[in-house]
Amino acid sequence: MKALITGGAGFIGSHLAEALLEEGHEVYIIDDLSTGSIDNIDHLKERKGFHYVVDTIMNSPLLAELVDKCDIVYHLAAAVGVMLIVESPVRTIETNVKGTEEVLKHANKKKKKVIIASTSEVYGKSSQKLFREDGDLVMGSTTKGRWSYACSKALDEFLGLAYWKEKGLPVVVLRFFNIVGPRQTGRYGMVIPRFVKQALHNKPITVFGDGKQSRCFAHVKDAVDALIKIGVTEDAVGQVINLGNDSEVSIEELAIKVMKLANSKSEIQYISYDDAYEEGFEDMLRRVPDLSKINKLIGYKSKYDLDDIIKDVIKYYREH
């Protein structure tokens, strides 16, 4: 198989490229390095069957050529991270919506399968106990910058599914729930790498809000394994599918766990959302995925727990 990964020098993209190469597939990557890093794919450059281009997916002729060469497109290129979304809302909306539009347009010419990476953020302020794929999306006000990301990714989903329904383009939408592991940067607010860096330097662990908000974290290896399996599962086409882990932890508990596993002398420092992001910032109390659909489709079960994730991130940052 020949696979194109947009955003392939990013955290998830680089792990996906690695795993596909291990299985003997040919891999093409396009990344403009705006949030990805060439360091993430340095070790792959000499591998047989690996090709990379540093450019934007807005380069329509180049993207068309790459899509043409491949059997499947993993569309991971996106503006991600709460901090980036708050600081650069125009870039967020344009990258996500226009980028997905370009990918779908070119893939449709020869009906190449597209796996669209979406996010649990699309559930917005939903109060479901478990987030089901067919549940309502509850967005905040357009005056709150953080919702621009959720809305842009929801539009990506609508567009992808429209191409499937109207034009017969094989599309799968995967909603990621906090995928974590080595190579992820804390630059745009990702919580585990940020906590780990602070803990390793014995600096205060900065918890936003009161720390009672909870999240579920999945290892990138579990996510990549699922991405590859979903890519060859015909029953997944036309579906929206949650991908993550359903073990819940509060952010305060997460901070304590990171400190223990890193043998850190850090202390927890609580920072208001207004100070961390912007005035009137809204956060969700819980985000727990219903994983029954992905379990039914590919027999998905997480192999790695939260301790495994944190230990792997600690090891990565100690080595880098």
- Average pLDDT, integer, range 79-93: 76
In the chain, the amino acid numbered 228 is I
d(CA 78, CA 100): 9
- Average pLDDT, integer, range 186-195: 84
For residue 298, how many C-alpha atoms fall within 13 Å in the half-sphere facing its CB? 23
- For 99, counting Cβ atoms within 10 Å of its Cβ (0-12 exposed, 13-18 middle, 19+ buried), the class is buried
Distances in whole angstroms, Cα of residue 106 to Cα of each of 57, 75, 139? 11, 12, 30
For 25-49, what is each residue's pLDDT tens digit? 999 999 999 889 999 999 999 999 9
Ramachandran area for residue 4 (φ above 0: left; ψ -120 to 50: alpha; else beta): beta
Buried b or exposed e, range 23-59, using 16+ CB within 10 angstroms: eebbbbbbbbeebbbeebbeebeeeeebbbbeebbee
> What pLDDT sits at residue 280?
65
**Residues in CB range of 202: below 8 A, 6 or more apart:** 264, 265, 266
d(CA 2, CA 72): 7
> What pLDDT sits at residue 202?
98
- Average pLDDT, integer, range 108-132: 95
Domain ranges of the chain: 2-179+217-246+286-302
Asked if residue 275 has pLDDT above 90, the reply is: no
Question: Which listed residue (28, 52, 74, 149) is catalytic?
Answer: 149
Spatial contact of 38 and 60, defined as CB atoms under 8 Å apart: no
Local structure of residue 289 (DSSP, 8 states):
B
> What pLDDT sits at residue 34?
87
Angle value at C-alpha 151, between 124 and 280, nearest 5 degrees: 60
d(CA 142, CA 152): 12
**Residues in CB range of 75: below 8 A, 6 or more apart:** 6, 7, 99, 100, 103, 114, 115, 116, 117
- For 132, counting Cβ atoms within 10 Å of its Cβ (0-12 exposed, 13-18 middle, 19+ buried), the class is middle
**Residue percentage of the chain with pLDDT more than 70:** 97
Q: Which fold has domain 2-179+217-246+286-302?
A: Rossmann fold (3.40.50)
For residue 123, name the pLDDT band (cuts at 50, 70, 90): very high
Local structure of residue 149 (DSSP, 8 states):
H
For 93-111, what is each residue's pLDDT tens digit? 888 999 999 999 999 999 9
- Average pLDDT, integer, range 7-18: 97
For residue 278, name the pLDDT band (cuts at 50, 70, 90): low
Beta bridge partner(s), residue 216:
248
Residue 188 annotated in active site: no
> What pLDDT sits at residue 271?
94
Local structure of residue 284 (DSSP, 8 states):
-
Between the two ends of the chain, the Cα-to-Cα distance in Å is: 33
**Residue percentage of the chain with pLDDT more than 90:** 82
